[in-house]
Structure 1
Amino acid sequence: MRHLRLLCAIADTGSLHKAARQLGLAQPSLSNQLLRIERALGAQLFVRARTGCRPTPLGLAVLSRARPLVAEFAAIVTETRAAAARAAGGYQLRIGATASRAIPGWLRLLRARGPDCEPALQMNVSASALLGMVAAGRLDMAFVHEVEGSPLRIPPGLCLRVLVEREPQFVTLSADHPAAAQPEVSLADLAGDRWMVDSTVDGEWEGLSRVLRAAGLHSEMLHGDYLTAYSLAATGEVVTVSQPTAHPRPDLAIRPLKGDPLGVRLLLAARTEPELDEVYPELEKAYWAVAAEAPAYREWLKRARLSGTAQEGNDAQLSRSTM
């Protein structure tokens, strides 16, 4: 079954490197395992090229048999573990997530149900890796974001619930940056700035690159984790992309980008609809609570409502959160 999961991961990601990251393996180890599988079957399953990996005709035939077996085995593991946990008087929800300020409130609301529900959290910068873990039965659900223009590969059999169809991404810059005096920042106002973005987060480097190119900018882009990016932004060394729910700091300004050129979709994924129903209300409540606490996002949502561009339900959720 492990070998079948490996083949599915390579096909889904189209890359040995990405498949290794999704499975939590070193790339040489994954490559060696693939060679052993191909030797055992007596044929090549993938064509390797500089642009990635694609299945051979035989590889497609193997994958068509492997996918339902992997999905069924994952379902057996998930359902058996859940039944055993409930029989023992408790149920641990295995939750995966990319970064979000909604997570602490979500976990707190889930724990408030009582001792029978104990969430266990696993963070990962890769949404694709988390979705793969849900599909493989190693997580019960995952809360992830999908960068606009860089669609995630959703493993077959997963159920999705959209929390926010399009969350605008803001810019974080030094509080004394000239553009920080404006309620919205134009990309042209940042033409002389360097950007820092975490290239290990699925789609974020590519998404920002597209936005800058579309604006006619050739800004320098640096790789770095967002904790480092915020520290450097505070000193004026860089500017960086941030979630609109980011917590204000006196040395940083968090501003919407004029025209909202960059957005993400917020998704909750699980293997079944009942699993989504079990945790979605708490996630929704936690998200809109942190949205109400973020001044720049709160004002953006109000402007979107007045201009008629607010997503249906967003304004009502925000109003309830501020009551």
Structure 2
Amino acid sequence: MELEVRHLRALCAIADTGSLHKAARQLGVSQPSLTTQLRRIENALGAELFSRTRTGCHPTPLGRTVLGRARPLVDGMTALITETRAAAARTGGPALRVGSTASRALPGWLRRLRTCLPDNDIALRVDVSAHALLRTVAAGRLDLAFVHEVEGCPLRVPPGLKGRVLVEREPQFISMAHDHPAAAREVVELADLAGDRWAVDPAVDGEWDGLHRVLRAAGLDPPLLHADYHTAASLIALGEAVAPCQPTSGPREDMAVRPLRGDPLAVRLLLYAAPGVPLDRPYAELAAAYREAALGAAPYRRWLRAGGTAGPCMMTA
């Protein structure tokens, strides 16, 4: 049996809903059919991907690893279908093809671009891999790419692309369960998290290497969970793991976001354009959207007002 996108989509649905019944309803198939499909997938891979309990279906450690690889593929196929349909429905206006790694500034940036470029048809592709986005720009299939570069893990930028730094050093905060002992503090020490499992997405360029370098420098060797951050969020809320997160992360009742003492984890935010694509206006709109997202996140706003600085587009808080 060869795995297809529909099989990966089924695995993601089971993980998202935590239930074969709910996943089957979401996918528009019968529960027995989905159960059989899952059994065939697990037989093909030679291991269980989900543990079945009275409380539902939960990914096994191997299942979390498979999901970490499956989600970008499913998201990429969804984006491909969306962009293809948008292209087919296009009325003839000029296209601006935008790529981005995950960012809380993205919705505001798209809104601003559509306002200032009302005659443009703006298409979006989101990918966990900055390298994949930059290669796509270089190949002429994207016009712009907003990406992050993990500190200590420089990106391989294809020749010919022009870029500008949006944020020279954005600190990475830590997300944890709201009742985690360290959540009572305004600033968390790495040592406060020595006994925790850390969730990391190996599909994100540089993420694992950057985190491993910082933990090793602090003399820590905690157990790691390889999982995409959508899955990791559920584990974090249950107190099963902690994870690095963007400082612009929005509030959740079941999770706390705190800065780390000394800001040992950081990324650089960059905007790249294909040759001949104007960069000034998209950069200005992205900077404004980032300021809006940063000031809207209370922990980041406090960090900035306490003297933190993030770079060229830095806001007055």
Scaled by the length of structure 2, the TM-score of the pair is: 0.69
Q: Which has the higher helix share?
A: 1
User: What per-residue deviation string (whole Å, max 9, x for no partner) do you get for residues 140-166 of structure 1?
Assistant: 010000000000001011101100000
**Structure 2: gaps (5+ residues):** 1-90
Q: Which of 188, 191, 206 is the aligned partner of 1:188?
A: 191
Higher RCO by CA contacts (8 Å cutoff, separation 6 or greater): 2
2:259 corresponds to 1:267: no
Partners of 1:279 and 1:204 in 2: how far apart? 26
Q: For residue 170 of structure 2, give the secondary structure of its aligned residue in structure 1.
A: strand
- Tell whether 2:169 aligns with 1:129: no
Structure 1 residue 303, shift from structure 2 partner: 1.2
1:108 aligns with 2:111: yes
Question: Are the structure 2 counterparts of residues 273 and 169 from structure 1 closer, same or farther at C-alpha, using a change threshold of 3 Å?
Answer: farther
CA distance 1:171–1:273, shift in 2 (3 Å): farther
The aligned counterpart of 2:257 is 254
* Structure 2 match to 1:9: none
CA contact (8 A) 1:110 1:118 kept: no
Q: Aligned pairs, how many?
A: 227
1:109-160 residue CA offsets vs partner (Å, 9 max, x unmatched): 1111354122100011110010011111110010000000000001011101
d(CA) in 2 for partners of 1:313 and 1:286?
10
- Unaligned 5+ residue runs, structure 1? 1-87
**1:167-210 deviation per Cα after TM superposition (whole angstroms, max 9, x unaligned):** 00000000100000000110100000000010100000111001
- Amino acid in structure 2 at the alignment position of 1:161: R
What is the aligned partner in structure 1 of residue 227 from structure 2? 224
The answer to whether the 8 A contact 2:167-2:312 is kept is no
Conservation of the 8 A alpha-carbon contact between 1:195 and 1:239:
yes
Task: State how 1:47-126 maps to structure 2 within 5 Å.
Answer: 90-126=93-129
Cα deviation, residue 311, structure 1: 4.0
- 1:5-20 equivalence runs, <5 A: none
What TM-score do you get using the length of structure 1 for normalisation? 0.68
Cα distance in 2 for partners of 1:141, 1:104 equals 15
Q: Does the alignment pair 1:145 with 2:148? A: yes
SS of alignment partner, residue 108 of structure 1: helix
Shift of 1:272: 3.7
User: Which amino acid counterpart does residue 141 of structure 1 have in structure 2?
Assistant: L
* Identity within the alignment, %: 61
How far has the Cα of 1:277 moved from its partner?
A: 1.3
RMSD: 1.5
Q: CA deviation at 1:91?
A: 1.3
